Structure 1
Amino acid sequence: NPDAQLPEVYPSAADLYQRELTSLQQQSPDGSLSHPELLVAVEMLSSVVLINRALDVGDRNSMWRQLASAVTGLSNVEDEYAQRYAQRLKAVAREEGSDYLTWNDIQACVDQVNLTIQEEHERIVAIGQINEALDGGDPQNTLEALLHSAAKLTDVDPSVAQHYYDKLLEARREKAHVRTNSCVYTHTHTHTQWVCFGTELLDWVGFGTELLDSCDNGSDWMKHWVKGGHNYYYNLKTGEGSWTEPADFLQNNTQLNKEDIQSVVSGVTTTYNREQLWLANESLIAKLQAGCRGYLVRKGLKERKDFLKSQDPAITTIQVRGQTLPFLWTWSESQYFLDSSNPFSSPSQRFLPSDLLLQCINDVVKIQAFIRANKARDDYKTLINADDPPMAVVRKFVHLLDHSDQDFQEELDLMRLREEVVTNIRSNQQLENDLNLMDIKIGLLVKNKITLQEVVSHSNKLTKKNKGELSNLMMMNKQRGGLKALSKEKRLKLEAYQYLFYLLQTNPTYLAKLIFQMPQNKSTKFMDSVIFTLYNYASNQREEYLLLKLFKTALQEEIKSKVDQIQEIVTGNPTVIKMVVSFNRGARGQNALRQILAPVVKEIMDDKTLNIKTDPVDIYKSWVNQMETQTGEASKLPYEVTPEQAMSHEEVRTRLEASIKNMRTVTDKFLSAIIVSVDKIPYGMRFTSKVLKDTLHEKFPDATEDELLKIVGNLLYYRYMNPAIVAPDAFDIIDLSAGGQLTTDQRRNLGSIAKMLQHAASNKMFLGDNAHLNPINEYLSSSYQKFRRFFLAACDVPSLEDKFNVDQYSDLVTLQKPVIYISIGEVINTHTLLLDHQDAIASEHNDPIHELLEDLGEVPTIESLIGENPLPPGDPNRETMGKTEVSLTLANKFDVPGEANAEMDARTLLLKIGGREADPRSVPWGIFTPAPQQHMTPPLFSPFQEVEYQRAMQRRAIRDAKTPEKMKQAKPVVDDSLTLQGKKDKIRSNLQRLAELGKVHPENRYQDLINDIAKDIRNQRRYRQRRKAELVKLQQTNAALNSKTAFYNVQIDYYNQYIKTCMDNLASNKGDTKAKKSKQVSQKYTAARLHEKGVLIEIEDLQTNQFKNVIFEISPSEAVGVFDVKAKFMGVHLETLQLEYQDLLQLQYEGVAVMKLFDRATINVNLLIFLLNKKFYGK
């Protein structure tokens, strides 16, 4: 109650106030407390509350201020005991278990600490006296010092004063320090003695028996040697002991002394320790034994192999004999059949072998199956592993090149999924761009209170676009015309574009050179719109292979032509690097970043107590604010200080050290997550890093490996990972609800961590202005070594061909033709750029691209490709028509080689013979047998084989009839109408041509060609496996894209709800209609008046004193947000222009302060917006 006029009280400590004041009231003589007594008591209790709070939060400074304060009323409080007071108070608080320590508890703690410290001082003095007595050399003085009460020594026996003196001198002389684990050692040693005693009891008994059997001399004295060279004498009967030798001393010979016992104990302990050592190293011993046994086994195996190798001639002889046995068996059966036909032979002689064979038929079948299975396995291993597989083995597995119905179905599923993925990617990109634009417009609406018409219209457009799928824009053109119209002229145009884009897609040199022929802003737009579309956003392995090949070629071209200094890669913004990072941080690489960073980012965000501040000034200001908040008084410290002044305060240094420690801890978590995730980084990023490192090393051979790895780190960490750490919400690393955002502390923490990792990745130390962070430099150096190993591992990737299993025949082997989905505007834009720069991208006149561009002719209009009537140049429908998409089934015009190109001709012949484009089962394999051995083989062809060949052709025709049109090959390279003999003649002719070209060699039985066929069989298997994996991957990608679309729809609903709220507020604030109309009349101002308001800055070629002759008339037009501005000079109308309010807001958003009107008048943009708001919108 303020009327009580008492000091500030704390409601959370109500129990403390109640308990203590009640106690004081009971102690008062009259049973009540006066106002002065209450004033003092409440003030003391509030100080006690503050002490308890300081203890809870660990604020030592605040606690000490309250302890030393006169308000608290504590007595005997010493400044130098502050640390001890704090420790004692914390201990008492834990022991008491209550919420608050009382004033009496605190005073008792103070007194207890003072008493303890006083006793410590007295003990120190007593120890000093003991040392002085030792220096004096008098054992009696040493005894008196030991008996002094301040020394706190117990069980001191005056009779052994001399021994005390000797031992203390020895201890001081050796400066022995008692180890903290002596007790543990003693316990373990004692336990070991008892274990050894139990195991070696017989040794003890035997040893003691020998001593008892010896003659007893009857002496009562025993002498024991103790450490330090002293002897102790003990009487067995009286139990007395002495450090001096008794008169007539004789050693008893029936008792064990220490040396006897120690020798037995040491022996037993040594045996036990040796046994434990063997047990502890049992695993190592087992490994050693296994290694020895393995060596012996390998040695025996090698000897066995050497023996078998030496017996090769004998084994070959046995196998030859074994192969002749079937013929001998057949011959013997024939002879038996002939003999059995003799009517003079007996029945038993005729049927005996057949009966015997029937009895063993099951065993024969099993043996044959076993032999065939082993033979098939051996043949398959030969096909897979052999460098030169035999033709007989290849012929057995050539049927694997056939395409089944499942192959066709999977290919159709792949085509459908690829189309859906590309469509969804483009739809999401357009949706994201529209959402970003709406976000900007809503921001301008809030900031400038602009009218809502444009935002609402944009929202309606967005919603309408989102209701239908983007694929609806890819519908067929009208029948009367368009690129895909049914006419010869349009068909040739379509094929020409398909040939052109196939060449651009498969030959990266053209696009790589074209990128650097354009300005950077145009090249970036071209890459984002056309290149990714051309490669279907790398939706399958073929397109990803070609896109990465383009990146490689373009990066090499850029380094070769644009980079003069190695550091330009880091300091500049290379076009290809930017494109690679943008692509790999998109839908494909975003999931990788999420897997790597999401767990640690979420952990940092969930830690609400984490507050990383490394700027001493910020820490200083935060400390001052905290003190003022706690005390309620203005701080006497200055608020504005330099970093050096801030670091002069102990509290700032303490907080900085704690912040640095926290930063190192969390940075370690990020670093550990990054360096173990090398396999999660997209292959495209790793391959680009390898190309970057190798290309830079090739151009700058003197550069060290550290310099190259720092540039690789700039790509992998700074450009790829760092932005995702700084802004995880922007890169979909974490999930936030609609409208949610990161707090300032969270962003600062992540920014500090990212800065630390960037310094570690580039091996950059904190120096100069960041000298206060010098303690981190050692940590940065060690972290760089981890990053260095990470960068080296990231660059260790297979080549593109090995990764994607692609060669020059891949497009000819695949079932389906490549298809791209591209807008009409992008087609025309690409065509225009190629015509403008064709000499730069292809200097050779016989380059294929010149022929293709010549076939296309001039650049067509949008209307001609769509099939619409020509539109005026400014018609807005032209832009919409340009976004219409068309699918192009790419084909290679130069598939069929000319006679002049012998190399391409050789490749085509290889395809024809090797079965890549023919039915493998229809190839007459016997043609590969060399002529000298033809007499060893049966006739190559027979009427039966001709019939089988015709059946194979019929089966192929039926299969081709079922094949979808999109998956049929462009044209057959082998005439299936040929007979078997005709095909034989054709193959022999081709083989002869290949031999002339040096591609095959009859001397080795055309083994080169057989190797290519075997490679095709292996690749076909890998392709099927890869296709199944790609199906799964595309399904996952499609699901992720649908999820992203759903998320965007949630944002759209959120924005629409916000716009609706704004419209409701606008409707509720409508003013008088008449007053509103009055605001819409035109406004006239002289230039002088506008200059006075600050709206007009200057008019070129016109003095300020002539501004009164210039009149500006501003009037709203019929369109919302558009104003007509008229300029008059001395009453003569000069010019009229239209000014869009939205353009002014955009200029203000972009930070443009001034603009030109009529190319002469300089206007202040912000003040012009203010004027329009005031005069026309009533704001």
Structure 2
Amino acid sequence: MEACLNEELPPTTELEEGLRNGVYLAKLGNFFSPKVVSVKKIYDREQTRYKATGLHFRHTDNVIQWLNAMAEIGLPKIFYPETTDIYDRKNMPRCIYCIHALSLYLFKLGLAPQIQDLYGKVDFTEEEISNMRLELEKYGIQMPAFSKIGGILANELSVDEAALHAAVIAINEAIDHQVPADTLMAMKNPNAMLINLDDQLESTYQDTLYRAKQDKMENAKNRIASENSERERDVYEELLTQAEIQGNINKVNTHAAISKIGLALEQGDALALYEALATPALGLRGLLRENCDWYFKQFLSDRQQKQEAGLTGLLQKEELQLGVDAANRAAQQYQQRLAAVAKINSAIRMGDAEKTVAEMMNPEAQLPEVYVFAAALYQRELSTLQQQSHEGNLTHPELSVAVEMLSSVALINRALDSGDVNTVWKQLSSPVTGLTNIEDENSQRYIDDLIKLKSQTRTEGNEFITWNDIQSCVDRVNLAVHEEHERILAIGLINEALDEGDTKKTLQALQIPAAKLEGVAPKVAQHYQDTLLRAKREKAQDTQDETAVLWLDEIQDGIHRANKDTEESQRFSLGILAINEAVDHGDVGHTLSALRSPDVGLYGVTPECAETYQRELAEVKRRKMATGGNGSEWVKLWVRGGYHYYHNLRTKEGGWDEPDGFVQNDTQLSREEIQSTISGVTAAYNREQLWLANENLITKLQACCRGYLVRQEFNSRMNFLKKQVPAITCIQSQWRGYKQRKAYQIRLDYLRAHKDQVVKIQSMTRMYQARRRYRDRLQYFRDHINDVIKIQAFIRANKAREDYKTLINAENPPMAVVRKFVHLLDQSDQDFQEELELMKLREEVVTLIRSNQQLENDLNLMDIKIGLLVKNKITLQDVVSHSKKLTKKNKEQLSDMMMLNKQRGGLKALSKEKREKLEAYQHLFYLLQTNPTYLAKLIFQMPQNKSTKFMDSVIFTLYNYASNQREEYLLLRLFQTALQEEIKSKVDQIHEIVTGNPTVIKMVVSFNRGARGQNALRQILAPVVKEIIDDKSLNIKTDPVDIYKSWVNQMESQTGEASKLPYDVTPEQALNHEEVRTRLDASIRNMRTVTDKFLSAIVSSVDKIPYGMRFIAKVLKDSLYEKFPDAGEDELLKFCAFPF
């Protein structure tokens, strides 16, 4: 089934349960009969519902589908199980039997491999065999004869059975002779009912059938050797059946046909390939001669894929069927595609957009995704393409490309409408859209331009932008980006010219058309150079980047600024000239007006000082003219920004370039001289007005002076204190220490006064810290659960390896190790006999238990009916009819038991009060078992001389001497509660555990000295004790007198004469002899050696000590630690180990 389904089935022990839902059976039916059982008809195919809620009645549909599939291929109905046999698990062996028969039948038809005979190859545990036997006995089912399936299949054929069996036996004899021609002749016998025989494969038939028969004979010998020799055997246990022969013939024919297919593929012959595929042995479904070319292409592709995957060999039967189906689908899809394309072209000619989209969305057209909202776009563009085509029709490749591009355009339109820029760019950059010259760095520019274009198109009344519109937009953006690139190159040339300091080259760079700079004047070239170079240096300084360059807007700003500076400098020069002329004319009003001109930019000009300005400026100019003028026409002025502007006094024009033969006119007043004169005059005037108007400020000044003197004195005091810092620090530290000690003492007194509250707070804090550490540790384990599982798996695997090494290498491995690997050991005939005997004894015990239980039930019922008879509740005939059901022996036992009940009465007496009392006692004993507090307190109320008897007669009986895990667990809980109660209430000193003879300790010791404790003690110490007993030379006497007497007796035995030494001596006299001391030392050493052996055996066998003893020791240690927290670890362990 795994080979057919290509999936793993549940383990052997869980397979029958897994078959109940019928999913695996329905999938098997789909494998050999897909027409009857399709995948869609299988209910709960992934078994999700079955795993969640269990079986559902609809799972029976899967079983029925499987039965229908078997009926369709013609499997005899004698093998069919009922639906309830599988669903209700009433007869699962019949289902397995049917699967075996189906395997052989499918093998005969060449549809599936045969189930192998696994007799002697698979081992089942005793528990699995016992569970299966109980399941068969539960429903009264007999195991069917699996080995006779072949014979039954042959008998089901509607032919002469004797002739058929004779022909099959003749074929088996011919196979044994190993003559291929004779074997083929025997198989051609019409009575053998064999088909599809090929004379060219007779040698292959002979080899295959001979190997199959040898395997079957070997399995039959193994079965005969292990089963009862008197069992009636079937002739087909060793001979090949008709179905097996036909199955092997089909297997050989299938292999030969597959070889022919491989040869046809190598030769490239499609017709030969079809002839090979049509071979009846392959049984391929759906072959069509007109699709032979499609088959050839498909199988070539499948073989190439198989080779690329690293798989060698020819295509198998399942792969061939898949290839045929795939080729048929491809051919059908091709024809459907042609018809769909014709419908699409017709719809396009009709001009119906909705019909065009509907035809394109037809799955048979196999076109890319089509969007209904863009129907008008598809119709318009496809109609244009159809008109441009030569034949007037669009082919499928043309439609695919066009639809793919138009769908992308539709998505772009929808994304533009919704503002989804990510989708817009995704579609623009997609190769499917087919746009050219798409640059990633221009994505945002494309999107912005498309949004504008979309808005403009909508305004014009068009719903969609076309592919051509999008391509034009892309080209337009690319052109703009190209121009910007050229502009960037021009900017680079400008920056290079600035760095070189060549004014003419800078002017040429600024006049490059690609730069598109405005306002460039050749006569201001020098100032352009200076202004732009300064701006570039400032940018480099601000950005801390020496390679910083000026961009277009910065260069344009520099040009505008330079032009503005030129205009301002010209007005400034004219203003200075006007001041000089006004001073020369001596007109005060004109001079004041020239001084207040904003073009000159003088500050501090006061109208009240106009005459003084005129007088002082005329005096300055007179002194300059007194030295004699040079008569130059040029004046160099220092203007804003630190530049020099050259102005001609005659033409009243100026520039930034220094004139040839420049000489500064020395009679003209400069701005600095004019500003200095004005500032001096204005300052004198303001000072005079200040003294008059600010007498109160003078008073404040004096106050500030006095404050300065006070602060000076304060600073001197501070300097003194700083020099005395060590002494001040010492005083302050002494004072702060006193205050801190006083506060500490007050706090300490407060804590001592509230000692109980402090202890409680500390305990709560420690508890919180411990809980937090525990939770953190627990969370750590949860966070690393996978690592914990890996570590545990590694430890378990390591333990298993160590146990296996112990089993292999140790001479006498422990029982625990042997138990783990007992399933790996070979089983002898004696083991089988012992297992059979053990099984028989188990069956007898189970039978007796059931008989006793039934007898007890009948006895109770009889007792009740007799009581009712006495009370006239039922008739005598009912009692007699019940009594007849009992055997004579049971009647005697019942009569004896009834007599005892009549004599004793008791809780089972037939009365309401006794019954209620019996139920009350049952509840009482259950409560006493599950709640150990009552018995734990009762134990301490018993006298010491009666406690042991009370334990044996009541408590151990109540817990059934811990005969199973439940009673043992409840008894240990009782011991735990009683021990904790006794330590809490009766133990005041830790040594009282030893000297006080505690009751619970005696109970525990008494309980563990039973058979369970003795077995553990024997397993732990038996080897050491046996070794010591067997060592006859071992001497561990430590009494000096005994050693002395042994020595004297030894000397008398050796010499044959009476010793002169006295026989009765004291220990001190015996130790006076050197030989006695030597032997005593040797005995002490032997005693230590023996003690070490016992200690090592106990320590190394901790796991073998009964769990109850270890648990009580743990409870004893925890209880003592809780009662005596100051006791040391060694002391606690000493007292914990003493009672045991």
TM-score tier (shorter) = under 0.3
Which is richer in helix?
2
Q: What is the TM-score with the length of structure 1 in the denominator?
A: 0.22
Q: TM-score, normalised by structure 2?
A: 0.22
The structure with the larger Rg is 2
